[in-house]
Structure 1
Amino acid sequence: MGRPGIAAERETAVARLDAGVVEYRLDRRGETSVLVFHGGHMRAGLPLGEEVFAELGCTVLVPSRPGYGRTPVGTGRSPAGFADASRELCRHLGIEGVAAVVGVSAGGRTAMAMAARHPELVRRLILQSSVGFLPWPDPRTRLMASVAFNPVTERATWAAVAAMMRHVPALGLRTLVGDLSSEPVNVAFASLGTEHRDLLRWLFSRMRSGRGFRNDLRQVGTDGLEISQPTLVVASRKDGSVPFAHAESLVARIPNAVLVASEAASHFIWLGSDYPAIAEQISRFVAS
């Protein structure tokens, strides 16, 4: 259940709101809705880890966060600002309640702001490999990212990544997965089956940073948020991008939070051998 697979890049639309322009994808299914904020280098057209919600028959709304895709960086530049823009987007689309808001990686800050600022809309919060209440990223990663993924260099960086995925995919995957895991590169790479490697090749070949990742790096902590909703935190102890300590900080500070430790060998919890069981927990949580 809920296993991620390769899918074509999805069609998106643009809403012109009082808060600004927002790119979004709306996959309409049933009456229950889920709002997803993906992490860095992602945009609305790239689905990842959404299968569990589709299998529940949920309508899934995915906005591109500021600076990603066709959402200008000036639309709700901060997590709080974009949470308010997303509330307006929901109203624009006729969505007056979401069963869960989902925050992935750097998108977790916006999901938390959404839950705290709009409790009348959000019933539950799910945080996956999410940045928590600790500084992020570490100084070394911040420096490297500011060089490789700034608005001037990011196009060339991702073009080089796409070329590696076409011509030397094993080397490319080892390089990128190694950066996303605290395990030795060989161990992290060996944990990936053929289907997972194909998925990551597809995903890495389509990622872009735009002005979004630099904006993510400028965000500060989420202190002061009062989150009252039941919260499910899913993270791997082997995550090399967002350390497990972030997940621990989340469950320590959010009153109704439960931590689920993934066995995934990297930041990508959906690729862990135990993800079907985790997907079952997510399904029960959303449906509860």
Structure 2
Amino acid sequence: MTEAERSTMVVRLDQGPVEYRLEQRGGPVVVVLHGGHMRASLVLGEEVFAESGYTVLAPSRPGYGRTPLSTGTSVSGFADVTRALCEHLGIAKVAAVVGISGGGPTAATMAARHPDLVERLILQSAVGWLAWPDRSTRIGAHVVFAAATEQATWGAMRGLMRLAPETCLRLLLRDLSTLPVRDVVAALRAQDRATLVALFSRMRSGSGFINDLQPAPDVTTEVGQPTLVIATRKDGAVPFAHAQSLAAVIAHAELVESQADSHFIWFGHDWPTIAETIRTFLTTDPPQPLQSVPQT
């Protein structure tokens, strides 16, 4: 098993099977909801929590990995499934739920629906409730990431990654930055380049990515927890306007602007400073959250 992929478990809850990874470190629990093409066994952006001794719980969202689409298909449904997973694991408090990219709506919805469980919300390069993605991207996604084609799409990517990793990185990062892709790739450190090669070589979309394109009820006005919204203006996948909108509407939100060159804010030169902001945020006593919103 590589550093980019770790072991997971599957539990059958009343709502259906859920794949998850639980890394116990003795500290408070952080729930990480990764974005598109990711599953529980893949690791990205978790070092700040691991290095601070936090226990990380990372479930595979519906349609990814070994969590079937039928388990909490909707954003609100899987927010409730994640609550049930916490109960199954004996987790009574979550220091923060972290929503990365396409996992943003589920993280925010979990915070809104379960304020007695979730103390804080962290959104990183997160999709919000503005229109997303644009029409051409949506059409393209239904072609290359459909159930009948996504395996072949990622198989071709893995083959190209073995034969011409530089070309493949440019191809995959092209839509993740507003900057010229050659400049983005050239600026990557060797370690970050290796991380991306390993990550892209193991990504799959399953039926999850197409499911992510379905609209979800906007809960931003219902989030009462302290919220940290982190994004870069150079993100070509999720426009910075999503972060601005989330920070403007969520009651106790702070917007942190990354200087990263792409959607992958963890590779920006200012990430150590942002990581310190996250650590401070996690150790600041949160105010009492709003009362639970009735579930439907």
Please give the per-residue CA displacement for 1:175-205, whole angstroms capped at 9, x wherever unaligned: 1111110111122112211111111100000
Shift of 1:222: 2.1
Within the candidate set 262, 269, 272, 1:276 is matched to 272
Over aligned residues, Cα RMSD in angstroms? 1.1
Q: Which residue of 1 aligns with 2:3?
A: 7
Bigger mean CA offset, 192-201 vs 102-111:
192-201
Q: Which residue of 1 aligns with 2:290?
A: none
Contact 1:235-1:269 within 8 A present in 2 as well = yes
Structure 2 vs 1, CA of residues 172 and 221 (structure 1 numbering), >3 Å: closer, same or farther? farther
Q: Which residue of 2 aligns with 1:90?
A: 86
Q: Which residue of 2 aligns with 1:151?
A: 147
Shift of 1:224: 6.3
Q: Which runs of 5+ in 2 are unaligned?
A: 285-296
Q: Which residue of 2 aligns with 1:76?
A: 72
Q: Which residue of 1 aligns with 2:165?
A: 169
Q: Which residue of 1 aligns with 2:125?
A: 129
Bigger mean CA offset, 185-194 vs 196-205:
185-194
1:35 match: secondary structure: strand
Which residue identity does 2:171 align to in structure 1? T
1:102 match: secondary structure: strand
Distance, in Å, in 2 between the alignment partners of 1:242 and 1:23 is: 26
Distance, in Å, in 2 between the alignment partners of 1:190 and 1:246 is: 27
Within the candidate set 241, 248, 252, 1:245 is matched to 241
Task: Say yes or no: does 1:105 pair with 2:87.
Answer: no
Distance, in Å, in 2 between the alignment partners of 1:8 and 1:42 is: 11
1:248 match: secondary structure: helix
Within the candidate set 13, 16, 21, 1:20 is matched to 16
Distance, in Å, in 2 between the alignment partners of 1:8 and 1:169 is: 16
1:218 match: secondary structure: coil
Distance, in Å, in 1 between the alignment partners of 2:100 and 2:93 is: 20
Distance, in Å, in 1 between the alignment partners of 2:176 and 2:104 is: 17
Structure 2 vs 1, CA of residues 223 and 33 (structure 1 numbering), >3 Å: closer, same or farther? closer
* TM-score, normalising length: structure 2: 0.94
Please give the per-residue CA displacement for 1:99-135, whole angstroms capped at 9, x wherever unaligned: 0000000100000010000000000000000011201
Give the percent of matched residue pairs that are identical in Structure 1 and Structure 2. 60
Contact 1:235-1:262 within 8 A present in 2 as well = yes
In the TM superposition, what are the counterparts of 1:121-270 in structure 2 within 5 Å?
121-220=117-216, 222-223=218-219, 225-270=221-266
Shift of 1:281: 0.5
Structure 2 vs 1, CA of residues 117 and 220 (structure 1 numbering), >3 Å: closer, same or farther? closer
Which residue identity does 2:31 align to in structure 1? L
Which runs of 4 or more aligned residues in structure 1 lie more than 6 Å from their structure 2 counterparts after TM superposition?
none
Distance, in Å, in 2 between the alignment partners of 1:113 and 1:218 is: 15
Distance, in Å, in 2 between the alignment partners of 1:103 and 1:225 is: 17
Distance, in Å, in 1 between the alignment partners of 2:272 and 2:176 is: 21
Distance, in Å, in 2 between the alignment partners of 1:224 and 1:56 is: 28
Distance, in Å, in 1 between the alignment partners of 2:181 and 2:19 is: 36
Bigger mean CA offset, 142-151 vs 215-224:
215-224
Contact 1:135-1:221 within 8 A present in 2 as well = no
Contact 1:236-1:262 within 8 A present in 2 as well = yes
Distance, in Å, in 2 between the alignment partners of 1:224 and 1:159 is: 38
Please give the per-residue CA displacement for 1:142-163, whole angstroms capped at 9, x wherever unaligned: 1111100111100000011111
Which residue identity does 1:251 align to in structure 2? A
Task: Say yes or no: does 1:41 pair with 2:37.
Answer: yes
2:32 match: secondary structure: strand
